[in-house]
Amino acid sequence: MARVEIVRSFGFEAAHRKGAQIYGYSYRAEIAIRGEIASDGKVARFEEIERAFAPVKSALDHSLLNDVLGHMPPTLENIALWISDRLRADLPALSRVSLFRQSEGEACHLTFET
């Protein structure tokens, strides 16, 4: 059986504080699920990913990331890790969390073996 990765993208706006300055960015998160194609022709339903990501997006969108992430600096790597920590229970086949800050040409890919 073929293993396939499906991806759902989500956008959110957030800011972070660095010293006295506040910087705001548009982010795009990609949530990937990897698995075998089931009898219904799907690896997973995109609605499952959307449902799992909804509270994550709600916490991140229009937020100050320093407050959301607590003790972790708001780097792309830490934001991706924070997202994955909140998705793994609901999405056990999670294979990748990618985070893009397109205005800066930056990306982070956090991958998992499935």
27: CATH: 3.30.479.10
Per-residue confidence band for 113, with pLDDT thresholds at 50, 70 and 90: confident
- Looking at residue 62, the DSSP 8-state letter turns out to be T
Is 31 part of a structural domain of the chain? yes
Share of the chain above pLDDT 90, in %: 89
Q: Which of 65, 79, 56, 58 is nearest to 15 (CA)?
A: 65
Who's near 17: CB < 8 A, 6+ residues apart?
23, 64, 66
- Give residue-wise pLDDT tens across range 13-62: 999 999 999 999 999 999 999 999 988 989 999 999 999 999 999 999 99
User: Domain of 15?
Assistant: 3-45+57-95
Is 100 part of a structural domain of the chain? no
Is 51 part of a structural domain of the chain? no
Per-residue confidence band for 88, with pLDDT thresholds at 50, 70 and 90: very high
Is 102 part of a structural domain of the chain? no
Is 21 part of a structural domain of the chain? yes
Is 107 part of a structural domain of the chain? no
Answer whether 114's CB lies under 8 Å from 93's CB: yes
Q: What is the number of domains present in the chain?
A: 1
Whether residue 1 has pLDDT greater than 70: no
Is 50 part of a structural domain of the chain? no
Query: What residue type is assigned to position 30 of the chain?
Result: E
Q: What is residue 64's predicted lDDT score, i.e. its pLDDT?
A: 98
